[in-house]
Structure 1
Amino acid sequence: MLMHPDLMLAIANERHRELVAEAEKGRLLASARRILRSGKGDTVRGHPTGTLAGCEASAAVPAR
């Protein structure tokens, strides 16, 4: 059976996108597992998680 070249290209591109998505998913899962195993899951981009800082009372300032 002969297929149109555009159809073959579309099928190949779709499969390539599937493989890339699967690889990205695998890298994301591996990264998450590595972080959980290392025990450093409590920091986000170098900043430790914790309680929120207290908010200061803001005074209304008249517009000039």
Structure 2
Amino acid sequence: MLMHADLMLTLANDRNRELIAEAEKRQVLNNAREARRSRKAAEVRGRPTGRVASCEPSAVVPAR
């Protein structure tokens, strides 16, 4: 199959743009997932463990 050189160049450029767009989309989704994970981790970090919350705020005490 013989194609015109300009057509081949156009097809190659279009494919290159598609690959770049897919990579950018993947990167945006990965960044959003990572931000969501870190936000969830920050929310969990401040909560007490267990079912019953303590009445007093816990303080960090050095080990003896």
Tell me whether the two structures share a fold, i.e. TM-score over 0.5.
yes
- How far apart, in 2, do the equivalents of 1:32 and 1:8 lie? 36
Higher strand share: 1
Deviations 1:1-39 (A, max 9, x none): 100000000000000000000000000000000000001
Gaps of 5+ in 2: 41-64
Higher helix share: 2
> Are residues 1:15 and 2:15 paired?
yes
Gaps of 5+ in 1: 41-64
TM-score w.r.t. length of structure 1: 0.60
- How far apart, in 1, do the equivalents of 2:27 and 2:39 lie? 19
Aligned sequence identity (%): 62
Q: State how many pairs are aligned.
A: 40
- How far apart, in 2, do the equivalents of 1:39 and 1:13 lie? 39
Q: Who is 2:33 aligned against? A: 33
**Runs of 4+ with >6 A deviation:** none
TM-score w.r.t. length of structure 2: 0.60
Task: Point out the structure with max Rg over C-alpha.
Answer: 2
